[in-house]
Amino acid sequence: MSIVAIVGRPNVGKSTFFNRLIQRREAIVDAVSGVTRDRHYGKSDWNGKKFSLIDTGGYVVGSDDIFEAEIDKQVELAIDEADAIIFMVDVEDGVTGMDQEVAELLRKSKKPFFLAVNKVDNSNRVNDAMEFYSLGVEKYYTLSSINGSGTGELLDDLVEALPDEAEKEETTLPRFAVVGRPNAGKSSFINALIGKDRFVVTDIAGTTRDSIDTTYNQFGFEFNLVDTAGIRKKSKVKEDLEFYSVMRSVRAIEHCDVAILVCDATRGFDGQVQNIFWLAQRNNKGIVILVNKWDLVEKETNTTKEFEAYIRKQIEPFVDVPIVFISVTNKQRIYKAIETAVEVFKNRSKRIKTSELNDVMLPIIQAYPPPAIKAKYVKIKFCTQLPTPFPSFAFFANLPQYVKEPYKRFLENKLRENFDFNGVPVTIFIRKK
């Protein structure tokens, strides 16, 4: 699929235009300039031609802002990736020095680019747009990102310039969400895996604000890696923008298949990390715990075992979860982390034949039946896996109301022992036979 990048200086309306084209509120939009920090990907189509869209952070030259140098690098990477570029400017501000810098950058790239003059929502502004000829373009397109006027002509010419490619069937890829507290190393982990600076990384907590997908193909397995904003306590979420980012991270967990929970070894598996763990567990997601920055911890003979035991103590009774100790900066065990996540995804998708399930579980139940209550004996005669996206099982009994939580946990443990559901919550239902 062809790739189109939207570039320009901050706050000209790139993200609003991006959201309009993909028809979802995917990029965060705010009146504060510099809200989009990473390249943001989506899909769109026009006149039957599909293309991928990249929304970039605003390009700024010579800024003291630590993010700006990283954002500029992201814009240049996006231009390298793109087949065509939409260069967006703002009619209200006219031609600025930064617009000239971006135009120069695009001319050097030798890629086809289309100058979109945004915020042209009345006839006076159509005349104001003429000054953009000074950027050395043959043609510009006047439009309004907010109401969509004028986008048709731009998109007609844009898709005409895109190379023809054989249409690929779009598959729904598994989604692995990389989650955790701010500054635990989530974006660095993805950058290390894909070998590119796909995400802006700084020492400041809260650098990533959007949840962003990256397609990754490794170990004969293709999936989407979703980088999320760090989730912090509600009391600490001050700006509206950050609240919006945290909500998006929660939604990323709800819509993923496996949550890769990155924990900072120097801060421990604290209450906030545990909250994210239980959020993933309540949503029946596969879970892998990565203990990052393990290279910074002073170690003795049993340090790893003790730290792992401490984590398992915090997550009782759901202790059947893989824990991988990694160092993103040294690239230690990062591929092991992904292999483990793939295994967890397979465990979550596992289907067990009803006959096999009964052959294994019924003898166990016969040997260790549910305890009798008020001289009433519970008999379980049959069990089956339910058709849900995560492992859930129904056990049919004569008196389901007398089967209590401890016995359900016993059944769950036996299922785990015999069928390997490592990293996946298992749900047990007791039903009337």
Is 206 marked as a binding-site residue? no
Q: Are 411 and 428 in contact (CB under 8 A)?
A: yes
Is 184 marked as a binding-site residue? yes
Is 230 marked as a binding-site residue? yes
Is 166 marked as a binding-site residue? no
Is 119 marked as a binding-site residue? yes
Residue 136 tokens, joined? 């050395």
Is 97 marked as a binding-site residue? no
Is 107 marked as a binding-site residue? no
Is 59 marked as a binding-site residue? yes
Is 8 marked as a binding-site residue? yes
Is 13 marked as a binding-site residue? yes
Find the angle CA(186)-CA(306)-CA(183) to the nearest 5 degrees. Answer: 20
CA distances 83 to 34, 109, 165, 172, Å, are 25, 11, 12, 24
CA distances 430 to 57, 197, 260, 398, Å, are 52, 50, 31, 10
Nearest to 357 by CA among 314, 410, 414: 414
Q: Are 53 and 6 in contact (CB under 8 A)?
A: yes
Is 12 marked as a binding-site residue? yes
Is 55 marked as a binding-site residue? yes
Is 387 marked as a binding-site residue? no
Phi-psi region at 95: left, alpha or beta (left = phi > 0; alpha = psi -120 to 50) = beta
Is 275 marked as a binding-site residue? no
Is 185 marked as a binding-site residue? yes
Is 284 marked as a binding-site residue? no
Is 408 marked as a binding-site residue? no
Is 227 marked as a binding-site residue? yes
Is 338 marked as a binding-site residue? no
Is 56 marked as a binding-site residue? yes
Is 295 marked as a binding-site residue? yes
Is 11 marked as a binding-site residue? yes
CB neighbours (10 Å) of residue 275? 13
Is 422 marked as a binding-site residue? no
CA distances 330 to 183, 249, 334, Å, are 17, 27, 9
Q: How many helices (H) and strands (E) does the chain have?
A: 12, 15
Is 10 marked as a binding-site residue? yes
Is 294 marked as a binding-site residue? yes
Nearest to 286 by CA among 172, 425, 186, 409: 425
Is 187 marked as a binding-site residue? yes
Report helix, strand or coil for 429. Answer: strand
Tell me the one-letter amino acid at 344.
V
Is 118 marked as a binding-site residue? yes
CA distances 378 to 8, 81, 156, 382, 407, Å, are 69, 64, 69, 13, 11
First to last CA, the chain: 52
Is 39 marked as a binding-site residue? no
Is 329 marked as a binding-site residue? no
Which residues are part of a known binding site?
A: 8-15, 55-59, 118-121, 180-187, 227-231, 292-295
Which residues are part of a known binding site for GTP?
A: 8-15, 55-59, 118-121, 180-187, 227-231, 292-295
